[in-house]
Amino acid sequence: MTEKNKRERKLSHGEKIFPAFHIEADGRGSYLSVLISGIIGVKEFSSEEVGVITRRESIKLTGKGLRISVFEAKTVEISGDIETISFVSKSYRRGKSK
């Protein structure tokens, strides 16, 4: 069995249907508002850096004067002068391989 097949087998039915997260952005000049749904938690928050965790990835946003709003349905909105958005994939085997 290949590595890809193993990974697919481990995905639950729900994960196959629904994406890990959904992201959309709306900008007005340098002000950007990023809406991310499918959030599990907030890793870090400051006016320069925000880190959020989704089911499969963690997302990091940097900029100036960042604000965070928490909505229902596991959705957060990060707004401010956002400069970068980076995605870091989490390993599926994390916590299992010892």
C-alpha–C-alpha distance, residues 28 and 81, integer Å: 10
What's the first-to-final CA gap in the chain, in angstroms?
A: 21
Residue 37 Cβ vs other proteins, minimum distance, rounded to whole Å: 11
Footprint of other proteins on residues 9-28 (CB under 8 A)? none
String marking each residue 39-78 x if it binds other proteins according to CB under 8 A = xxxxxxxxx---x-------------x-xxxxxxxx-x--
Q: In the complex with other proteins, which residue's Cβ is closer, 40 or 85? A: 40
Alpha-helix residue ranges (DSSP H) falling in the chain: 3-10, 13-17
In 3D, which of 10, 6, 5, 2 has the Cα closest to residue 56?
Answer: 10
Q: In the complex with other proteins, which residue's Cβ is closer, 45 or 85? A: 45
What residues make contact with other proteins under the rule CB under 8 A?
39-47, 51, 65, 67-74, 76
